[in-house]
């Protein structure tokens, strides 16, 4: 068996949380803190990424990892309660999932495109398509169960 061919296909695409470039990373090295060759930022840093229309498309459509997107607004009390839950989720699942936030006040076109009627609304994307959505605040264990259930399908 050609090991070069096997390693070339055993990789994932990761959108950089800083410059939003798409980077190919060997699957077996995602836990080794890979860096973006363009901006040198850590790719899977376990932080929530702020998304706008351009970076949203890159992260949700071009990367291999699922992306959990929180549609929120700064004036929303339940959204503020969700922030630490999402921070922990991003840290705990850093090599398996990216977490992003879309401020619906600043990104009204995105909110409209995804028919966001209440906030917070969480949408899980993979490969450019919506896998599932949940509206309303949840605690960390409920979010974990929801993610595990959706990703197990």
| Active-site annotation, residues | 76, 79
CA 138, CA 1: separation in Å to the nearest integer?
47
Model confidence pLDDT, tens digit, residues 49-84: 999 999 999 999 999 999 999 999 999 999 999 999
pLDDT of 123: 98
Is residue 143 a part of any domain in this protein?
A: yes
Q: How many domains does the chain have?
A: 1
pLDDT of 142: 96
CATH number of 102's domain: 3.40.30.10
The strand order across the sheet containing 129-135 reads 49-50, 98-103, 67-72, 121-126, 129-135
pLDDT of 9: 60
| Closest residue by Cα to residue 102 from 113, 94, 111 | 111
Is residue 131 a part of any domain in this protein?
A: yes
Instruction: Say if CB 27 and CB 12 are below 8 A apart.
Output: yes
Is residue 51 a part of any domain in this protein?
A: yes
Predicted TM-score (pTM) of this structure: 0.91
Helix (H, G, I), strand (E, B) or coil at 31: helix
Instruction: Say if CB 150 and CB 96 are below 8 A apart.
Output: no
What pairing do the DSSP bridges indicate for beta strands 98-103 and 67-72? parallel
Is residue 20 a part of any domain in this protein?
A: no
pLDDT (average), residues 102-118: 97
Is residue 26 a part of any domain in this protein?
A: no
Is residue 14 a part of any domain in this protein?
A: no
Structural domain of 74 = 46-151
* Unique residue bearing structure tokens 């959706």: 150
Is residue 126 a part of any domain in this protein?
A: yes
- What does pLDDT average to over the chain? 92
pLDDT at residue 150 is higher than 70: yes
Is residue 4 a part of any domain in this protein?
A: no
Model confidence pLDDT, tens digit, residues 20-36: 999 999 988 888 889 99
């Amino acid at each position: 068996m050609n090991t070069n061919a096997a390693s070339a296909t055993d990789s994932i695409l990761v959108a950089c949380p800083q410059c939003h470039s798409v980077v190919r990373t060997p699957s077996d090295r995602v836990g080794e803190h890979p860096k973006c060759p363009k901006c040198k930022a850590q790719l899977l840093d376990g932080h929530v990424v702020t998304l706008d229309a351009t970076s949203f498309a890159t992260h949700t459509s071009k990367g291999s990892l699922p992306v959990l997107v929180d549609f929120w607004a700064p004036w929303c009390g339940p959204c503020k309660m969700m922030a630490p839950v999402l921070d922990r989720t991003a840290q705990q699942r850093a090599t398996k999932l990216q977490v992003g936030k879309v401020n619906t006040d600043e990104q009204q076109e995105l909110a409209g495109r995804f028919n966001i009627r209440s906030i917070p609304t969480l949408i899980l994307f993979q490969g450019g398509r919506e896998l599932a959505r949940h509206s309303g605040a949840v605690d960390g264990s409920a979010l974990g169960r929801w993610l595990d259930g959706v990703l197990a399908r």
